[in-house]
With several copies, the nearest count.
Chain A
Amino acid sequence: MSIKRVPLSEVPLTKEDFVSDQIVKWCPGCGGHAILKAVEKAFPETGFRKENFTFVSGIGCSSRFPYYINTYGIHGIHGRANAIASGVKIANTGLSVWVTTGDGDSMAIGGNHFIHTIRRNIDINILLFNNQIYGLTKGQYSPTTPKGEVTRTSPHGTIEHPFNPAGLVMGSMGTFFARVLDSNVRMMTEVVEESSKHDGTAVVEILQNCIIFADKAFSYLTDKEHKDEYQINLKHGEPMLFGKDNSKGIILKENRLQIVKVGENKEDDDMILIHDQYNPDPGIHRMLGYMRPPEMPRAFGVIRAAKFDTYDYLMEEQIRSAKETSGIKCVNDLLNSGETFEVN
């Protein structure tokens, strides 16, 4: 199991320790502002030393994040945030590494690095701003844009099935997946903190409203009329209840997650699932990740947080053990190892 070696701060920190002096250049009303706020709030709670936070991003509106927070940061190139972050973390395991990326950056051009980072379980945190559109380039469809949507590059509607980020995370054997709404700053703050504590690649999908090019993409979830029915907030150890006054519950029956009305039927009530985010078996987490209205509510909160060895830990272990066992302690040893001969 990986040991977190991010050093702790000697003094208590506050939000202000992370507020940057740079002008935030996102559009007024962009979901990014709330995310920034949540992160600024969560970071003091982690207890980590402020110099040990490092942000990495690709290109996109979301990828401007590193400029807006007072930490170390590198604004990379499009799609490569996770690859860069992998290097940052492996090389310097004492850092708490955060990736901010978009649905284009990590699901389109950066899809490969995304799944490989997850597969390796490198101990970084990925804040995936999923606004279902390419924001910075002004409104082309992305791999998460719903099929049929009209965008600047799909004047007749897209013909592509979108990715569900949860599907890719689970399909790559991910150990941590959470989903939050940009409008729920409280939950975002909690989830960001939980993510920071997870050993391994933590993916936080943030449904982020792009007010300019995909406004109201998530209003089907957040509208007054649907809110209660279409959202379930998962909490580890608690029953999966939702709806007005928690009147509904989720059970597993016939290999499908199904909704029951609470109190209608004792047998059903007993079957209501208790959320176990630490379950190593991804079976139910996967189903929770896929749930989608109108049949089922969309799941929010930490869906999966399983414990597996991290790549960076295993690498350090291999190096440690090689150092212990190998006779080659320095480069002079290396150069003189094997077959050599002396000329006098």
Chain B
Amino acid sequence: MSKNNNVTEKESAVIKFVGDSGDGMQLTGTLFSDTAALFGNDLATFPDYPAEIRAPHNTIFGVSGFQVQIGSIKINSSGDFCDVLVAMNPASLKANLKWVKKNGIIIVDVDAFDKKALDKSGYEENPLENNSLKDYKVVEAPISTIAKESLSDLSLSAKAATRSKNMVALGITGYLFNLDINSTYKFIENKFSGKDIIVESNRRTLAAGYEFARENELFETTFFVPKADLPKGRYRNVTGNVATAWGCLAAAERSGRELFLGSYPITPATEILIEFALHKSLGAKVFQAEDEIAGICSAIGASYSGSLAVTTTSGPGFSLKSEAIGLAVITELPLVIVNVQRAGPSTGMPTKSEQSDLLQALYGRNGECPVIVISASSPANCFYYAYEACKLSMEHMTPVVLLTEGYLGNGSELFRIPDVENLPDINPPIAKPNDPEYKPYARDPVTLARKWAIPGTEGLRHRIGGLEKFNIEGNPTTDPINHELMTKLREDKVKRVENYIPDQTVTGEDSGDLLVVGWGSTYGPIHTAVKELQNEGKKVSQTHFHYIKPLPKNTGEIFRNFKKIIVCELNAGQFVKHLKIEHPEYKYLQYNKIQGLPFVVHELKEKFNEILEEK
């Protein structure tokens, strides 16, 4: 398709679309990513939007962005700095310039750089005119004009027409990356099926952008990112939140338990709830509760009555669930609590990501109140850890907290679609009708799990509750020795899960100068940084945790073989506190960032190098 024959092949590229929150940057980015994915690129995306729904035009705080990294190699994160920035107005350029690589391409809608917009964004001079962008390749395109013109003969309002300008930008970018615009059309058709006028206007503006770039030889060279060398299989692009919902649905199917979701909307976890609500055909019962407390309490009720019960939330909602988690712990019922962490404390920065609810997950309840805590590290593996959370919860009859993050929940990446039949079996310990041995708190001698006796079953009538109860019999009691026993049993039951989880693994050598420890969304940047240092010959390895409580059994063995250990987190140091408690025999260095932003590779490398050089 390219008119210009000058095509540069790239292993990977980072593209970021930025504009007003009403400019449709999220859709643009998603379409770009889907098109690249369908072609066969590996990728990871990250949408970054303000808390305001439609913030005032042309303001810095109103900037909405969508970043994607595509590659012919394995892509582990949405990337630090971008090769191409598409900026729909001055404010978005201003807010994002620092993220553009030197010599990177900046495509701007030159129509949007009028005096008013420049003033509102805080630019004193037009940056397109004062040479301040000389370190970049700036491509000025009259994007709004192109949109308007290409739609002139359609009966659309001027507003609707300008709303399509994002498709012009996408057309230009598609041209730049030699994307197959025909598949983008198809995505548009599916998305807006039934709304012909919208399909048509988007199609036209997309084509117009593409043609404009081609006709005007807008770029010295276009780029081509070859197909990634992916393992055989069927793939799709998936966000962490969607993957989380799917993992739970798969666990329901495989365990033969109906799924019940009790949830209350909260950014950035709402999309899990939305995804469940879409799939009534799979039998999931979705209860949008009046608040988070009703969300979790209805789930506890559903669990008691035999469903795989899930509740999803983010920080403030997780706080509200504290008391009820205690009830699930003492009643020893299965329950999966998903916390898509966001930046705190309190309401904090709701649309920004952070890893600061880990200690709350471990300790945020009255009394000695242990739960299993696990975490996902990429949008796609949210599927597997959600599945695992459900499995552990049902098989061990205890609540599980699954920690993800806004960055994972909203971000997307390629997901190799598994066959649900190949996922591990799930065998909840369901009590049999009229089992003469049944006692509410009789335990499996190996896992210590009690049985799940479902109301309606003959011969198993029993009562449980939030009071301390006798082991085995289950009647309430304040017997001192029994309370100590039960407290230990509840802890031990969680501890024994270490026998059911995989060993912790190391990326790189099993011993060396520095072991980099992380958990959650930071896998990608840490991995890249460590790999690069390894390539430079440094004795650095990575170990990334998904199982937080209990920790894998071999954790200590891994730590033992490194001279130094550094724990990197997007908080003030929470996992490191946990390690100090669980493995006090080691010394831990820390690298922490509390900015609502992911790590960038170069800051990590700098830090690691610094440590390696210290003797």
- Asked if residues A22 and B290 are in contact (CB atoms below 8 Å), the reply is no
The answer, yes or no, to whether B116 is at the interface (CB within 8 Å) is no
Q: Which residues of A contact B37 (CB under 8 A)?
A: 339, 341
How far apart are the CA atoms of A109 and B289 in the complex, in Å? 9
Q: Which residues of B contact A336 (CB under 8 A)?
A: 234, 417
Q: Which residues of A contact B467 (CB under 8 A)?
A: 75
A75-B463, A79-B291 are contacts. A92–B306 as well, Cβ < 8 Å?
yes
The answer, yes or no, to whether A271 is at the interface (CB within 8 Å) is no
Q: Which residues of B contact A344 (CB under 8 A)?
A: 232
A121-152 vs B, Cβ < 8 Å mask (1 yes, 0 no) = 00000000000001111101101000000001
Measured CB to CB, the closest approach of chain B to A202, in angstroms, equals 17
How far apart are the CA atoms of A88 and B464 in the complex, in Å? 14
- Asked if residues B40 and A343 are in contact (CB atoms below 8 Å), the reply is yes
- Stretch from B280-288, B390-398, B527-535 contacting the other chain: B280-288
The answer, yes or no, to whether A8 is at the interface (CB within 8 Å) is no
A86-B298, A87-B299 are contacts. A153–B273 as well, Cβ < 8 Å?
yes
How far apart are the CA atoms of A141 and B346 in the complex, in Å? 24
A25-B56, A331-B250, A339-B236 are contacts. A84–B297 as well, Cβ < 8 Å?
yes
- Asked if residues B463 and A87 are in contact (CB atoms below 8 Å), the reply is no
- Asked if residues B419 and A332 are in contact (CB atoms below 8 Å), the reply is yes
The answer, yes or no, to whether B466 is at the interface (CB within 8 Å) is yes
A59-B347, A108-B291 are contacts. A339–B260 as well, Cβ < 8 Å?
no
A154-B277, A340-B235 are contacts. A75–B297 as well, Cβ < 8 Å?
no
Within 8 A of A (CB), among B352-373: none
Contacting residue for B455 out of A26, A52, A77, A108, CB 8 A = A52
The answer, yes or no, to whether A329 is at the interface (CB within 8 Å) is yes
The answer, yes or no, to whether B266 is at the interface (CB within 8 Å) is yes
Measured CB to CB, the closest approach of chain B to A282, in angstroms, equals 22
Q: Which residues of B contact A88 (CB under 8 A)?
A: 301-302, 304-305, 455
A59-B347, A77-B466, A137-B270 are contacts. A92–B455 as well, Cβ < 8 Å?
yes
Within 8 A of B (CB), among A21-40: 22-28
Instruction: Tell which of B22, B37, B278 has the most Cβ of chain A within 10 Å.
Output: B278
- Asked if residues B307 and A91 are in contact (CB atoms below 8 Å), the reply is yes
How far apart are the CA atoms of A22 and B470 in the complex, in Å? 14
The answer, yes or no, to whether A315 is at the interface (CB within 8 Å) is yes
How far apart are the CA atoms of A184 and B187 in the complex, in Å? 43
The answer, yes or no, to whether A116 is at the interface (CB within 8 Å) is yes
- Asked if residues A61 and B291 are in contact (CB atoms below 8 Å), the reply is no
Measured CB to CB, the closest approach of chain A to B437, in angstroms, equals 18
Instruction: Tell which of B37, B274, B476 has the most Cβ of chain A within 10 Å.
Output: B274
- Asked if residues B285 and A66 are in contact (CB atoms below 8 Å), the reply is no
The answer, yes or no, to whether A342 is at the interface (CB within 8 Å) is yes
How far apart are the CA atoms of A342 and B428 in the complex, in Å? 34
Contacting residue for B281 out of A79, A95, A329, A335, CB 8 A = A329
A84-105 vs B, Cβ < 8 Å mask (1 yes, 0 no) = 1111111110110000000000
> Which of chain B's residues has its CB closest to A336's CB?
B417
The answer, yes or no, to whether A13 is at the interface (CB within 8 Å) is no
The answer, yes or no, to whether B480 is at the interface (CB within 8 Å) is no
A202-233 vs B, Cβ < 8 Å mask (1 yes, 0 no) = 00000000001100000000000000000000
Within 8 A of B (CB), among A160-208: none
The answer, yes or no, to whether B511 is at the interface (CB within 8 Å) is no
The answer, yes or no, to whether A56 is at the interface (CB within 8 Å) is yes
The answer, yes or no, to whether A265 is at the interface (CB within 8 Å) is no
A137-B267, A141-B288, A331-B246 are contacts. A95–B456 as well, Cβ < 8 Å?
yes
The answer, yes or no, to whether A257 is at the interface (CB within 8 Å) is no
- Asked if residues A323 and B281 are in contact (CB atoms below 8 Å), the reply is yes
The answer, yes or no, to whether A80 is at the interface (CB within 8 Å) is yes
How far apart are the CA atoms of A152 and B275 in the complex, in Å? 9
The answer, yes or no, to whether B589 is at the interface (CB within 8 Å) is no
Measured CB to CB, the closest approach of chain B to A257, in angstroms, equals 30
- Asked if residues A136 and B51 are in contact (CB atoms below 8 Å), the reply is yes
- Asked if residues A322 and B281 are in contact (CB atoms below 8 Å), the reply is yes
Q: Which residues of B contact A143 (CB under 8 A)?
A: 290
> Which of chain B's residues has its CB closest to A321's CB?
B280
A74-B304, A80-B297, A92-B456 are contacts. A140–B466 as well, Cβ < 8 Å?
no
How far apart are the CA atoms of A54 and B305 in the complex, in Å? 9
- Asked if residues A335 and B246 are in contact (CB atoms below 8 Å), the reply is yes
Measured CB to CB, the closest approach of chain B to A86, in angstroms, equals 5
- Stretch from B97-105, B323-331, B496-504, B591-599 contacting the other chain: B323-331
Q: Which B residues contact A (CB, under 8 angstroms)? A: 22, 34, 37-38, 40, 51-57, 59, 61-62, 187, 190, 230-237, 246, 249-250, 253, 258, 260, 262, 264-267, 270, 273-274, 277-283, 285-294, 297-307, 309, 316, 323-324, 326-327, 331, 346-347, 417-421, 454-467, 475-476
Q: List 6 A-B contacts (CB under 8 A).
A: A50-B461, A51-B461, A74-B331, A153-B274, A323-B280, A332-B421
Given A74-B331, A155-B277, A342-B234, 17 extra CB contacts under 8 A:
A25-B61, A51-B458, A72-B460, A73-B462, A76-B297, A83-B293, A87-B299, A88-B455, A92-B305, A95-B455, A108-B291, A137-B266, A153-B265, A153-B270, A153-B274, A330-B282, A341-B234
* Nearest 8 interchain pairs by C-beta: A75-B465, A87-B301, A87-B298, A326-B281, A91-B302, A27-B54, A83-B297, A322-B280
